[in-house]
Amino acid sequence: MEPPGPSTPTASAAARADHYTPGLRPLPKRRLLYSFALLLAVLQAVFVPVTANPAHNRPAGLQRPEESPSRGPCLAGQYLSEGNCKPCREGIDYTSHSNHSLDSCILCTVCKEDKVVETRCNITTNTVCRCKPGTFEDKDSPEICQSCSNCTDGEEELTSCTPRENRKCVSKTAWASWHKLGLWIGLLVPVVLLIGALLVWKTGAWRQWLLCIKRGCERDPESANSVHSSLLDRQTSSTTNDSNHNTEPGKTQKTGKKLLVPVNGNDSADDLKFIFEYCSDIVPFDSWNRLMRQLGLTDNQIQMVKAETLVTREALYQMLLKWRHQTGRSASINHLLDALEAVEERDAMEKIEDYAVKSGRFTYQNAAAQPETGPGGSQCV
């Protein structure tokens, strides 16, 4: 008997070959990975559609605004239904504001038995109820209407009862006092107004007010007349000075200032224009408005002249011309000097006064009869 060789299978080997099961062999690693990936894909396809948008499963009131209809919120009087805005029912329900996610309208309020309808319910407004006549709604307990109280024999009705406020009563003594006070006030006010009107008419103040309305009121009502009053005082003092031989000629007795007069005896327009030209170089720019207000121009007139003048330096000259045309022949260099002193521009006043005398166009009053060695009390170089 030959021993089995390597190429000849034995009986036991043949038997094992007959019982071999291919399915029990271990799977390769690559096939195991493919199977795991396929399982994940199946799970994702099953569960993701259900959980991708959980907002659809929540109540409409809990949905975020961005999950509302793409066209925007529903208007007042509408609600959201199946992605569309639908109207509420007239007299049954309503919505008072625009909304993103209300799935139904709000039912209208039904008035209680002790109240009546003041305003009926519509699709945008709820029912408004009020208490019946003879009752009122207390602020502390608005759900119940209470009967209005009555005034006693010793009281008088101050205010009547309304659906929202109870009747108010006061004692007859207090009522009589208030009634008398009202009568006195009603009598005194017309009397005071009548007396005031008579005083205004008597003093002629109404003419000044009428002129102020026509020409425009100034900030300081007294400033318009300050220059004229000052000049009147100086002229009165000068008249007294002429009769007083002990006073120095050319000076006023009251103020000690001298009045300038034209050399030719006539206050011509050319002489004033000559001084106006010099003022633009001497008077500081910051004082122009105050000076013109002091002379009597209104703020509107000042601004109009400035707007019409192209060159800034010419503005003061044009405003002075406006003042002269408005004042007429009564305008003089003395008005201008008084106004400069009133706005505390004394240095400019002295320079203009000195310039006017040295120009030969103006001289001090009475200087022709008794000339002085100097031009005046103060000069500025």
Amino acid residing at 266? N
Other Cβ atoms within 10 Å of 96 Cβ, number: 12
Q: Is residue 141 part of a domain?
A: no
Helix ranges (H only) for 71-171 are none
Distances from the Cα of 145 to the Cα of 126, 166, 168, angstroms = 20, 11, 17
Question: Would you say 315 and 309 are in contact if contact means Cβ atoms under 8 Å apart?
Answer: yes
Q: Of the candidates 75, 100, 130, which is a domain's last residue?
A: 130
Q: Given this model, what pLDDT does residue 43 score?
A: 67
Work out the end-to-end distance of the chain between its first and last CA atoms, rounded to an integer number of angstroms.
Answer: 162
Cβ burial 226-254 (10 Å sphere, 16+ → b, else e): bbeebbeebeebbeebeeeeeeebbbbbe
Is residue 58 predicted with pLDDT exceeding 50?
no
The DSSP secondary-structure symbol of 253 reads T
Could you tell me if 227 and 335 lie in one domain? yes
Q: Is residue 48 part of a domain?
A: no
Tens digit of each residue's pLDDT (9 = 90 or more) over 309-337: 888 888 888 999 889 888 888 888 888 99
Question: Would you say 261 and 365 are in contact if contact means Cβ atoms under 8 Å apart?
Answer: yes
Contacts of 238 (CB under 8 A, 6+ apart): 252, 259, 365
Q: Given this model, what pLDDT does residue 143 score?
A: 78
The span from the CA of 284 to the CA of 231, in Å, is 23
Tens digit of each residue's pLDDT (9 = 90 or more) over 198-234: 777 767 666 666 666 655 544 444 444 444 454 445 4
Q: Is residue 304 part of a domain?
A: yes
Is residue 90 predicted with pLDDT exceeding 90?
yes
Residue 248 phi, psi dihedral angles, 5° rounding: -65, 130
Cβ burial 275-294 (10 Å sphere, 16+ → b, else e): bbebbbebbeeebbbbbbbb
Could you tell me if 103 and 227 lie in one domain? no
Provide the residue range defining the domain that includes 101.
53-130
Helix axes 299-308, 314-327, angle to 10 degrees: 130
Closest by Cα among 162, 139, 159, 140 to 151: 159
Residue located via tokens 């720019």? 285
Q: Is residue 235 part of a domain?
A: yes
Question: Would you say 130 and 116 are in contact if contact means Cβ atoms under 8 Å apart?
Answer: yes
Q: Is residue 30 part of a domain?
A: no
Q: What is the CATH number of the domain that holds 285?
A: 1.10.533.10
Amino acid residing at 318? Q
Could you tell me if 348 and 231 lie in one domain? yes
Q: Of the candidates 101, 130, 159, which is a domain's last residue?
A: 130
The DSSP element (H or E) to which 5 belongs, if any, is none
Q: Of the candidates 115, 130, 145, which is a domain's last residue?
A: 130
- How many Cα atoms within 13 Å fall on the side-chain side of residue 85? 16
Q: Given this model, what pLDDT does residue 53 score?
A: 41
Which region among 30-44, 219-233, 304-318, 345-359 has the lowest average model confidence (pLDDT)?
219-233
Is residue 237 predicted with pLDDT exceeding 80?
no
Q: Given this model, what pLDDT does residue 109 score?
A: 93
- How many Cα atoms within 13 Å fall on the side-chain side of residue 292? 29
Amino acid residing at 148? C
Which region among 23-32, 217-226, 272-281 has the lowest average model confidence (pLDDT)?
217-226
Which region among 24-28, 182-186, 354-358 has the lowest average model confidence (pLDDT)?
24-28
The DSSP secondary-structure symbol of 149 reads P
Q: Given this model, what pLDDT does residue 218 score?
A: 45
Q: Is residue 203 part of a domain?
A: no
pTM over 0.75: no
Q: Is residue 377 part of a domain?
A: no
Highest mean pLDDT among 105-119, 147-161, 354-368: 105-119
Is residue 42 predicted with pLDDT exceeding 70?
no
Number of domains present in the structure of the chain: 2
Q: What is the CATH number of the domain that holds 94?
A: 2.10.50.10
The strand pair at 93-94 and 106-107 is best described as antiparallel
Could you tell me if 360 and 253 lie in one domain? yes
Which region among 14-18, 63-67, 331-335 has the lowest average model confidence (pLDDT)?
63-67
The span from the CA of 70 to the CA of 356, in Å, is 86
Other Cβ atoms within 10 Å of 131 Cβ, number: 24
Q: Is residue 189 part of a domain?
A: no
